[in-house]
Amino acid sequence: MESTAASNNALTYIFRKDDYKPAVANKGKPFLKWAGGKGQLLAEISAYYPFGDGHIDAYVEPFIGGGAVLFDILKRYELSRVYISDTNEDLIVAYKAIRDRTDFLVEILASYEREYIPQAIETRKTYYLEKRHEFNELRALHDETTAVRRAALLIFLNKTCFNGLYRVNKQGIFNVPMGIYKRPLICDAKNLYAVAEKLKNVTIACGSYVEAEAFIDDKTFVYLDPPYRPLTKTAAFTAYTDAGFDDTAQLELGEFVKRIAGKGVKFLLSNGDPKNIDDKDNFFDDLYRAFKIRRVEAKRAINSKGSARGKIKELLISNF
């Protein structure tokens, strides 16, 4: 079992738990940098929030990712039910650790920050590789007794790896190299406590979006942000889970969306626009032709070449 036996004195220069509790009520933001995060599109997405009419009082997000939309909604509204899920086990382990074991998680992250920041680049690399190896060992075990440490390692790696990128290879190994940051904020205790407060009544599940259907009724707003269809055949450089999300999966998701829409659910779905590359590619226009399709501009957030980080079109698809 994981222990909380670390010295209290070792943490006092970074945080005091009680200092943060009064300040978290209306705060909380994504605790990870996540490819495809929706922070830059919140103005467009928030225009679809249907909670003001008094009928919709539940929220479901089955591709939770970094949670930008979730935390925006939780800051604005008091809802009767909230359900989030993802097939990425590492991500869900982190959400649950923040909600259920905040103190211990912050304690571990504080020790990582204290050990990592003073080091020179070469010794940082050694430390980083040790933590990356430990993370891969723990994620292979799927052991709940080490879940909080696994969550802490994910957050540490996200804050210190190249571009904050999450990527696993075909063997399921996280293999992103270290990034070069002078003083990364590894232990953002204030935000972690705020996130924990927002998640306290949220149902968190690891599984397919299909499993969310049991939670959905006509009083629910569903936001779906699946892995985007690659703009080119060589663009799918990032694996968010050990399995991919190909065109067959996109078509299956389309059928799911049609099914829940038939139940009177209000939904919003986002995806990349294939017309960025090929004006004749009507994949999503055909798949979602029964619904409203809006094209909005977004800046490509993660790319190995800075010159390729231009504005592209993304799709917002809804039934209202």
CB count in 10 Å sphere of residue 57? 15
Pair 46, 64 in one domain: yes
Last residue of a domain, one of 195, 223, 241: 195
Pair 186, 230 in one domain: no
In a domain, 117, yes or no: yes
> Which has the closest alpha carbon to 259: 308, 222, 285, 298?
222
Question: What is the DSSP secondary structure assignment for residue 51, as one 8-state letter?
Answer: G
What CATH code is carried by the domain that includes residue 309?
3.40.50.150
Q: Is residue 197 within 8 Å of 25, Cβ to Cβ?
A: yes
Question: What is the DSSP secondary structure assignment for residue 309, as one 8-state letter?
Answer: -
In a domain, 149, yes or no: yes
In a domain, 23, yes or no: no
Q: Is residue 74 within 8 Å of 197, Cβ to Cβ?
A: no
Pair 100, 160 in one domain: yes
In a domain, 25, yes or no: no
Give the pair of three-digit tokens for residue 6. Answer: 């670390």
Pair 83, 121 in one domain: no
**The pLDDT of residue 237 is above 90:** no
Pair 159, 93 in one domain: yes
Report the C-alpha gap between 301 and 41 in whole angstroms.
Answer: 12
Report the C-alpha gap between 261 and 219 in whole angstroms.
Answer: 12
Which helix (DSSP H) or strand (DSSP E) does residue 204 occupy? strand 203-206
More confident residue, 18 or 126: 126
Give the tens place of pLDDT for each residue, 20-72: 554 555 589 999 999 888 999 999 999 999 998 779 999 999 999 999 999 99
In a domain, 200, yes or no: no
Share of the chain above pLDDT 90, in %: 79
What's the number of domains the chain is made of?
2
**The pLDDT of residue 18 is above 70:** no
Tell me, what's the pLDDT at 52? 82
What CATH code is carried by the domain that includes residue 116?
1.10.1020.10
In a domain, 17, yes or no: no
> Which has the closest alpha carbon to 320: 40, 85, 51, 36?
51
Pair 211, 305 in one domain: yes
pTM for the model: 0.89
Q: Is residue 182 within 8 Å of 255, Cβ to Cβ?
A: no
Pair 122, 211 in one domain: no
Pair 164, 135 in one domain: yes
Pair 82, 211 in one domain: yes
Pair 93, 83 in one domain: no
Last residue of a domain, one of 147, 169, 195: 195
Give the tens place of pLDDT for each residue, 137-162: 999 999 999 999 999 999 999 999 99
Report the C-alpha gap between 147 and 97 in whole angstroms.
Answer: 7
Q: What rounded mean pLDDT belongs to the chain?
A: 89
HEC assignment per residue over 209-226: HHHHHHHCCCCEEEEECC
Pair 180, 275 in one domain: no
Structural domain of 111: 89-195
Give the tens place of pLDDT for each residue, 34-44: 988 899 999 99
Pair 219, 317 in one domain: yes
Last residue of a domain, one of 195, 227, 243: 195
In a domain, 214, yes or no: yes
In a domain, 18, yes or no: no
Distant-in-sequence, close-in-space partners of 149: CB < 8 Å, separation ≥ 6: 2, 108, 138
